[in-house]
Amino acid sequence: MNTPDPFWRNDSPPTVLEVMNTRIVLTSISFVCSVAVSAHAQSAGTKPTAATGRSLNLDFESGDLRDWNAQGKAFQKQPIRGDTVSPRRDDMKSGHQGNYWIGTYEIGGDDLTGTLTSVPFKAAQPWASFLVAGGPWPNTRVEVVDAATEAVLFKTSGDESENLRPVVVDLQQQVGKQIFIRVVDQQTGHWGHINFDDFKFYAQRPKFDNELDPAKVLAEAPPADSYGPRPGRPQQRSRLKRLG
Ligand SMILES: [Ca+2]
């Protein structure tokens, strides 16, 4: 029994239906490829490097705090490995990059405080992003700082969620200058913690579906002396209660 040749090996010209089927297949392949390229472009970024060219540990994938200086108890035993959020509450997850991230609730709860400061590094590209979550307070924040003047170039708090979300940092005026990152947890009590991960550079402004707007977060932030839960938001469960 002979297997019929495909139309492109057949002497007879292809039918209209065969041509249409081929066009549909080719269009589908093209669409899938373009989506893949687009997704890659949005997720791609460049790791900051030391002067030697070594990639800095700004995503904590070394599993330790090399390239960072931790002050205070909030950053002891960091970084956190894996999603420790979803096992204790079913409405949130860590959303971290890779295997490790910073979450100052996860080890010692809300009442520990401290700062985590990166080594200085060159602003190699005009745009950056990092992942942030945690308390919405002025005292739970991440800063990008000018290393020469120590002026705070950018800051954002969390949005009272554990789900890490990307923020975009405009470094167009800082390209070539030395900067550093400071992760601040000076808040105790309700949502007194900060989550952070994965600082990267971009040549163009990156776009993220779940981007966090720092201006909106800061505008909504309550005064530093307010400790009450905010209406309409889920309350953070106490680890002590959970363990007890
Ligand atoms: Ca990470």
How many angstroms does the Cα of residue 77 sit away from the middle of ligand 1? 15
Intra-chain end-to-end CA distance of the chain, in Å = 75
How many angstroms does the Cα of residue 27 sit away from the middle of ligand 1? 37
How many angstroms does the Cα of residue 140 sit away from the middle of ligand 1? 19
Is residue 104 domain-shared with residue 222, that is, in the same domain? Answer: yes
Task: Give me the sheet containing 194-202, strands edge to edge.
Answer: 80-81, 100-103, 194-202, 127-134, 161-170
234: cis peptide before it, omega within 30°?
A: no
How many angstroms does the Cα of residue 95 sit away from the middle of ligand 1? 10
pLDDT of res. 44: 83
Is residue 134 domain-shared with residue 178, that is, in the same domain? Answer: yes
How many angstroms does the Cα of residue 58 sit away from the middle of ligand 1? 8
Is residue 19 domain-shared with residue 136, that is, in the same domain? Answer: no
How many angstroms does the Cα of residue 180 sit away from the middle of ligand 1? 18
Is residue 146 in a domain? yes
* pLDDT of 28 above 90: no
Is residue 49 in a domain? no
Give the pLDDT confidence of 79-109 residue by residue, as tens digits. Answer: 999 999 999 999 999 999 999 999 999 999 9
Query: 63 — alpha (psi -120 to 50), left (phi > 0) or beta?
Result: left
How many angstroms does the Cα of residue 26 sit away from the middle of ligand 1? 38
Is residue 191 in a domain? yes
Q: List all residues 6 or more positions away from 43 whose beta carbon is below 8 Å from its beta carbon.
A: none
Instruction: Reduce the DSSP state of residue 35 to 3 states and report it.
Output: helix
Is residue 235 domain-shared with residue 197, that is, in the same domain? Answer: yes
Is residue 115 domain-shared with residue 73, that is, in the same domain? Answer: yes
Is residue 57 in a domain? no
Range of the domain at 120: 68-243
Is residue 40 domain-shared with residue 72, that is, in the same domain? Answer: no
- Whole-number percent of the chain with pLDDT over 70: 71
How many angstroms does the Cα of residue 63 sit away from the middle of ligand 1? 9
- Whole-number percent of the chain with pLDDT over 90: 69
How many angstroms does the Cα of residue 157 sit away from the middle of ligand 1? 19
| Chain centroid offset of residue 189 CA | 24
Integer angstrom CA distances of residue 207 from 16, 40, 42, 131, 218: 42, 12, 6, 13, 20
How many angstroms does the Cα of residue 240 sit away from the middle of ligand 1? 27
Is residue 63 in a domain? no
Among the residues of 80-158, which ranges form H helices? none
Return the CATH number at 172: 2.60.120
Is residue 34 domain-shared with residue 144, that is, in the same domain? Answer: no
Q: How confident is the model over 192-212, as a mean pLDDT?
A: 97
Is residue 209 in a domain? yes
How many angstroms does the Cα of residue 99 sit away from the middle of ligand 1? 5
The total number of structural domains that make up the chain: 2
* pLDDT of 152 above 60: yes
